[in-house]
Amino acid sequence: MRISRSFHLENSVDFKSKLLHWSQQYDDVVWLDSNNYDQNYTEYSGLLAVGAHKVLKTDHHQAFDQLKSFYDLTKDWIFGYLSYDLKNDIEALSSNNLDELHFPELYFFQPKKVFSIQADELVMNYLEDYEQDMHQDLESIKSGILLKNLSHNNNIRIKLRIHKDDYFDKIEAMLAHIHRGDIYEANFCQEFYAEHTSIDPIETYKHLNAISRPPFAGFLKCDDSYLLSASPERFLKKLGDRLISQPIKGTAKRSENPKEDGANKANLENDEKERSENIMIVDLVRNDLSKTAMKGSVVVEELCKVYTFDQVHQMISTISSQLHPETHPVDVIRSCFPMGSMTGAPKISAMKIIEELEESKRGLYSGAVGYFTPEGNFDFNVVIRSILYNAKRKYVSYSVGGAITAKSDPLKEYEECLIKAKAMRTVLEK
């Protein structure tokens, strides 16, 4: 049983910063921040879960069945992530590429304490056994008692897992598969990394979020494993019997010159290649949603709409459906995972070719972070524009990718990757 209390906040921005610092006393932390971005279906400006009452960590073997049992056992809020490699639980696939991060493939916990913020209203939601902490916690957060920053290295040397010439070769191999008809689109990703490196996770996240301010930002701590995410993309949201997906395909750089910036946005809106990429994934998502939808209920609400973020312009589509009654929330996610925007089409063939050509195991990158509610609703982002950090191994990683189609130019695809990587590199090399 949970106990909830509501409080008015004088300054929600200041409180959110103090709340995140306060959370670092716990080993299990998920913080989700919409940055008050004006996008459909946003429920919270901030959501924090801390302290594991019960926890599930596992590899991909029967991972979705274990998650389903875990949710049914708790019938409560649970927060965590689904790594990309859970694809191997759904299909006869494997992940054999290099993994230097060593994150669990699936991780969820039932939090002792949940904090939700909407506008200037705070709701503290505690398991009954921890209700006595509520007043003291609130006073500690407001007082702004911050933990001492972890030591970190300001001279981080970023390395490329795939060098430029090798990248071009791999794109040509991907194009050969497309021209043969094996696939018609695939998302190809590359890793950038730093070894023997310590960073301050909180300060790095705050800097990354400040320069990006996306609608699906997140900070996750699982013991010594950290995710610092500035994701602009929603994977999947369940709200009652409604299911919503908002895939991104299509990117253009921002410019400080307003005229040039407007032209960049207009060019993206009218770019046939980018629209084609987006529409291919919309078709894939429509097919995924139809697996659990009432007949005739899958609707494209927005097609190829361009949204502007601090770092880039992005082309986003919104697809929704009405779920079959009694469909289990975990089964809904299983039917759509991994997200089409990070795989390609046809999905299984694309995932096989991705595994052959990429050098690094994706892990949490291009997976999803989010939560389930006691009522069976959920909301998950897509883990892109994110820094992954294993503090014990002193290993820092970020990956970027792009959709490869028959019209792709390898040089332009490479340049798009660098645009997407700019925020992470700026933060780490400051």
Active-site residues: which are they? 233, 249
On whether the CB atoms of residues 319 and 67 are closer than 8 A, the answer is no
- The DSSP bridge partners found for residue 242 are 239, 322
Q: From 414, 378, 323, select the one nearest 81 (Cα to Cα).
A: 378
On whether the CB atoms of residues 19 and 45 are closer than 8 A, the answer is no
The token pair at 28 is 């299990």
Decide the pairing of beta strands 28-33 and 248-253: unpaired
Decide the pairing of beta strands 216-222 and 344-345: unpaired
Report cis status (omega within 30 of 0) of the bond before 201.
no
DSSP-assigned states of every residue in 185-238:
EEEEEEEEEESS----HHHHHHHHHHHH--TEEEEEEETTEEEEEEE--EEEEE
- The DSSP bridge partners found for residue 81 are 107, 369
The DSSP H or E segment spanning 81 is strand 78-82
The token pair at 264 is 């960049």
Burial call 71-104: b when 16+ CB within 10 Å, e when fewer: beebebbbbbbbbbbbbbbbeeeebebeebbebb
Between CA 427 and CA 154 the distance in angstroms is 10
| Cα torsion 317, 322, 323, 324: sign | negative
On whether the CB atoms of residues 395 and 197 are closer than 8 A, the answer is yes
Between CA 177 and CA 183 the distance in angstroms is 6
The token pair at 423 is 């925020």
On whether the CB atoms of residues 358 and 80 are closer than 8 A, the answer is no
Q: From 208, 222, 269, select the one nearest 83 (Cα to Cα).
A: 222
Between CA 76 and CA 53 the distance in angstroms is 11
Q: What is the largest CA-CA distance in the chain?
A: 65
